[in-house]
Amino acid sequence: MMLHIPAVLSIEEVNYLRSRLEAADWVDGKQTVGAQGAQVKQNRQLPEHAEVSIELGEIVLAAVKKHPLFFSASLPLRIVPPLFNAYAGGEYYGLHVDGSVRQLPNAGDSAGHQLRTDVSSTLFLCDPHEYDGGELEVVDTYGTHEVKLPAGDLILYPSTSLHQVRPVTRGVRVCSFFWTQSMIRDDARRRMLFEMDQNIQILRGLLGDSAEVLSLTGQYHNLVRMWAET
């Protein structure tokens, strides 16, 4: 399931992140991928252990955790601390699939501190008119989807998807990105639960907490209990 989540960050939060990122020291993005990814990756990233990366990552993480649409769609168990990248002057990231497992920062080698990447997220920090190119292209069974969102908006999609970032030919594209391990491993089940939850919210607005709404709510939570991995 792909989902556009608007206004994850406020304009004030976006401006603060942008001001901090403009003064940051970036490194070659190839340093954070394996040999296969390095062949198709030309961009810059903030070092994940840099003070500014940690500070801004905490702002992003706090925003997504309190966003009801993000929670409903991803049903998060663990989230990798958000990272930041930048593209300019023809930089791009060719077709690739995200690694299936990530090690959480400062976690050592313990398997309990590893995260399965079920859901990928890109949070845009620049408006579309600020740069040319730079579309996120996600490939699934329905074809190729181009994504280029307003600053502060987020796109969520399955980490199993092939995807790429097209070359940026004018301006600079700056984003935050991160991965989530969901309580619900299967994307089809996550989609089913998301649609069920959204319709329950609509019905509650129309009917209040009627017996039928309460029954559907109970069935939703029973399905989560049946399928959740914690």
| CA-wise closest residue to 175 among 146, 149, 145 | 149
Residue 112 has a pLDDT of 55
Q: CA separation (Å) from 50 to 31, 45, 116, 124?
A: 14, 11, 24, 20
Please report, for the chain, the start and end positions of each structural domain, with discontinuous segments joined by +. 3-182, 187-227
Cα separation, 112 vs 220, in Å, equals 28
The whole-number pLDDT of residue 106 equals 64
CA-to-CA distance for 104 and 19, rounded, in angstroms? 27
Which residues have CB under 8 Å from 51's CB, separation 6+?
A: none
Secondary structure (3-state) at 30: helix
Residue 155 parent element (H or E):
strand 154-158
The domain 3-182 is placed in CATH, from the list 1.10.599.10, 2.60.120.620, 3.40.50.10440, 1.20.1250.20, at 2.60.120.620
pLDDT in tens, the chain (230 residues): 999 999 999 999 999 999 999 999 999 998 777 777 788 999 999 999 999 999 999 999 999 999 999 999 999 999 999 999 999 999 999 999 999 999 888 655 455 589 999 999 999 999 999 999 999 999 998 899 999 999 999 999 999 999 999 999 999 999 999 999 999 999 999 999 999 999 999 999 999 999 999 999 999 999 999 999 98
pLDDT in the model for residue 32: 73
Q: How buried is 77 (Cβ within 10 angstroms: 0-12 exposed, 13-18 middle, 19+ buried)?
A: middle
Residue 156 and residue 120 in contact, taking contact as beta carbons nearer than 8 Å? yes
pLDDT of the residue at 144: 96
Query: How many other CB atoms are found less than 10 A from the CB of residue 150?
Result: 14
User: Other C-beta atoms within 10 Å of 133: how many?
Assistant: 18
* pLDDT score at 31: 76
Architecture of the domain defined by 187-227? Irregular (4.10)
Report the pLDDT value the prediction gives residue 96, as an integer from 0 to 100: 95
* Whether the Cβ atoms of residue 39 and residue 45 lie closer than 8 Å to each other: no
